[in-house]
Structure formats: structure tokens, C-alpha cells
Amino acid sequence: MINMILLGPPGAGKGTQAELLVDRYHLPHISTGDIFRAAVKEGSPLGQKAKAFLDAGKLVPDDIVVGIVKERLNQPDCQEGFILDGFPRTIPQAEMLDRYLAGADRQITAVINIDVDFEVLIRRLTGRRVCRNCQAVYHIVNKPSQKSGVCDHCGGEIYQRQDDAEETVRKRLEVYRDQTAPLIAYYRERGKLKTFNGEEPIQVVFDQICLALEEQNG
Ligand code: AP5
């Protein structure tokens, strides 16, 4: 069973690797960022609460995020494993997740930590483009779509996220350093952490993650 967390700063490649991991392992991909962006697009009550935090590059409050993730993990498709992307992002979120899973006799099996230098991240995020329809991730230099502005997977429109403006990117990196990076020690102490150099090409990072998961699962 693979109950995985993808950990790393904004732009480290969590969403990119999640897409590849879903194809390989057929696990549900739970991205809290995608959930919030979909809620903002719909204009739902959750979206109205989350919008200001996303636009400012700040974290949505823990109680809101944890409620959503618990509800998602309760769904039948998550009982045989899952990929959490962008959650947890604070120590209280990690503690709440551990308690919730322990209550269901489950646990996190691997924390994939993707490490990338902040200057590289700024270049990546300001060049990132995303499909408005299926959320596939592109980069204007590193991973362009075959036809400009059109998603290779579904033909949807490719756009730039509002929080990928340089000033907001710098704020998100600061928030990561202060509130999320302490999770590296949290999961290392619990023997769950596996760190990967996210500056390697996408396929190399993916192969290394798969190798580590396969070694772990025998
Ligand atoms: P979220 O959507 O989770 O954003 P993030 O963590 O900032 O991560 P990103 O999606 O920006 O980056 P990524 O690591 O997935 O990189 P990607 O694969 O796209 O969260 C957004 C907001 O929602 C937060 O700011 C917060 O407000 C809120 N939120 C979400 N979760 C929350 C939580 N738990 N608690 C509170 N608030 C929460 O790759 C980036 C680019 O690099 C792409 O263009 C890609 O093609 C390229 N790339 C990827 N890998 C490589 C590589 N190896 N080499 C070269 N280029 C690469």
C-alpha cells in the first residue's frame, strides 16, 4: 500500500511528479491547491474563503484545509492508497493527519521530499503554465505544450496562475521556509522521509522516486 505525501517548496515539481505517479500506480491524487483553485473558479463558499489567501501567497487556515482532506481521504477510492500533494504544509496539519489516519488504522508510508534551490524555483514558477481544464502542468521553456496555448492531453486552454507572478512567488517561498520546511525534520524523525534532487530532469526525478518506492514495497 502506498499512502504518500509529496513535500517540497512551491514549484519543486510536486504536481508534475504526481501526474506521472498517478499513471504508474493508479492512485488518487489529492492536491489541496487544485481543490482550492476549483472552489475559487466555482465561486463556492470554500472558494470565497480561500481566494484572498491564495492571491496573497499565504496559507489557508489549518482547520479549513484539514476538514477538506479528511473528507477526501474518507472516499472509497482512497482506501487502497493515495498521493497527497501540498498537504500537510504545517506541523499542526501533519499532527492532525497522523491522528486521523491512526484512528482508521492507517499511516503515511512515504514522504517524498523534492529539494530545489529558491532561485531555480522563481524561474520555474514564473514560466509555468497550467491547463484550465485538466490541470496538466507545462513550462514555457522546460516543458512546452506541442501547440502553443493548447493542452496536449485534453485540448483545454493553457493559462498562467495568478499566484505565479514574481512578487507572490517570493511570498510563497517565504511562507514555505517559515511554515512548511519544519516538516522535513518532522518526517525525518519518524523515518518516513526520502529526499530527491528536484533539479534533475523530470524523468530522472520520477525514476528515482519509483525506485525508492519499489525498494520500500519489496
Ligand atoms: P499549491 O497549488 O499546492 O501550490 P504550491 O505548493 O505552491 O506548489 P505548486 O503547485 O506551485 O508547485 P509544484 O511543486 O506542484 O510544481 P509543478 O509540478 O507545478 O498551493 C497553492 C495555494 O493553495 C497555496 O499558496 C495556499 O494558499 C493554498 N494551499 C494549498 N495547500 C494548502 C495547505 N495544505 N494548507 C494551507 N494552504 C494551502 O512544477 C512547477 C514548474 O516547474 C512547472 O512549469 C513544471 O513543468 C516545471 N518543472 C517541474 N519539475 C521540473 C524539473 N525536474 N526540471 C525542470 N522543470 C520542472
Nearest CA to ligand 1 atom 6: 10
The pLDDT of residue 216 is: 84
Nearest CA to ligand 1 atom 50: 13
The pLDDT of residue 65 is: 95
Residue ranges of the chain whose pLDDT lies below 70: 218
The pLDDT of residue 184 is: 98
C-alpha 208 to ligand 1 mean position (Å):
20
The pLDDT of residue 73 is: 95
Which of 20, 32, 163, 172 to probe ligand 1 with, by most ligand atoms within 8 A of CB? 32
The pLDDT of residue 59 is: 96
The pLDDT of residue 68 is: 93
32-42 and 45-56 are packed helices; what angle lies between their axes, rounded to 10 degrees? 120
C-alpha 31 to ligand 1 mean position (Å):
9
The pLDDT of residue 142 is: 85
